[in-house]
Structure 1
């Protein structure tokens, strides 16, 4: 049974890799000054430390969760590797971070997001090592936090679980690009209007491609979540994602 689960979910994720050629990246190598590169890395570090402890505790309690964590990581890797050029030095793309944030919590996905970004920087030339802190903070820290608490708030309010998953993934994606826009605006303020003018420019450019991408990611995340729920129901109960009443 476990083998069939793996074949089904991994086949679904593999199909996603056939949809598009990659031709852009996260905030690229060298695009931020050393000051901002180091600053974003320092800000991100505490989330990584807490996330490592969170993952270790969950896997100690139930080693079977390794499979679901691997699926969440693969989902994040595949979706965040699908790029649509948006602006020199950056890009629009899904993040895939919402699924794992719902399942394992925001700090755990900070670690997963960091690992994904390292592999993309080294193997696919997406993003960079010097911008790793900034990219991790926007996608894996803020994106995860927004996705996780959106899901929890809707479920706590007795809303539809599928609506909760959809909005969590969608808003987590959009939050990533709001933060990315802030990071770029802080690093490159407009000569005439300063930070605010630069922020409006970056947000405007990203919005054209990011809004439909975020909605598409929300819908796809619902489908993957349904598949995991169908084949790994007991594991989701262990993660406190669902209960008998859901």
Structure 2
């Protein structure tokens, strides 16, 4: 999801930036609303952004000289829903481009669209479907993190294929080739990211149960009624 600086044609970079912009603006409004309605959630917002920054900054060698990365966006999508992650992911990708030379400013829109928009929405959808099917919190978080990661790389494969279609098989053939290259390392990496995110949610359940309850991740404790003091006549 870190397409390098200058790697995409200018028109592609512009198109992906325009496609991502409405989601980022909506995400900024969602973050402002979240902080206004629940100021105590600022620490968890920071933790979700930091988790994504650290995981997606890892560079793990892949084949043909490329690299694979976790994304870390599944956690924030579960905690705060995808619009919030659109802004947090944009901030993460911007600072990685400026400070770590991961990605680039001309390709920021494309990277945001794959990692900060599509990835979180797929993650949140997987989480909700798992919970609706009777799965527990940890299973839902695992599928959210894993499938959100894979969805990011599927979109990146399409982005690269649109920019560099195969001479014989066109865009579809190029997308299949890019996807197969990523899959060698990304499938096991997505599973590892899912397990790591489960460990993170376990920690949050232990140290911040009240915050998770306010966010709707944990159910509210059942109300208890005091025993009656009335005695029969």
Equivalent position to 1:210, from 178, 186, 189: 186
Counterpart for residue 7 of structure 2: 31
Match of 2:138 in 1: 162
Partners in 1 of 2:103 and 2:66 — Cα distance? 8
- Please report the TM-score for the alignment, with normalisation by the length of structure 1: 0.87
Instruction: Give the aligned partner of residue 243 of structure 1.
Output: 219
2:154 paired residue among 178, 196, 201:
178
Distance in 2 between residues matched to 1:210 and 1:245, nearest whole Å: 39
Cα distance 1:100–1:145, how it changes in 2: closer, same or farther (>3 A)? Answer: same
Equivalent-residue separation in structure 1 for 2:160 and 2:65 (angstroms): 10
Number of aligned residue pairs: give it: 222
Q: Does 1:199 align with 2:175?
A: yes
Which runs of no fewer than 5 residues in structure 2 stay unpaired? 223-233
State the partner residue of 1:68.
44
CA distance in 1, matches of 2:26, 2:92: 18
Map 1:111-122 → 2, pairs under 5 A: 111-122=87-98
Structure 1's consecutive aligned runs of 4 or more residues displaced over 6 angstroms after TM superposition are none
Task: Quote the residue 2:164 is aligned against.
Answer: 188
Secondary structure of residue in 1 paired with 2:220: coil
CA distance in 2, matches of 1:245, 1:209: 42
TM-score for the superposition, normalised by structure 2: 0.92
Indicate which of 73, 77, 102 corresponds to 1:97. 73
User: How far apart, CA to CA, are the structure 2 residues paired with 1:50 and 1:241?
Assistant: 22
State the Cα distance separating 1:139 from its structure 2 match.
Answer: 0.5
CA deviation after TM superposition for structure 1 residue 87, in Å: 6.0
The Cα shift of 1:206 comes to 0.3
Matched with 2:22 is 46
TM-aligned CA distance change 1:189 to 1:158, over 3 Å = same
Q: Whose Rg is larger?
A: 2
1:43 Cα shift?
0.5
Counterpart secondary structure, 1:101: helix
- Tell me which of 85, 110, 119 is aligned to 1:134: 110
Q: CA deviation at 1:237?
A: 1.3
Q: State the Cα distance separating 1:49 from its structure 2 match.
A: 1.1
What are the Cα deviations for residues 51-71 of structure 1, in whole angstroms up to 9, with x where unaligned? Answer: 111111111111110000111
Root-mean-square deviation (CA, aligned residues, Å) is 1.6
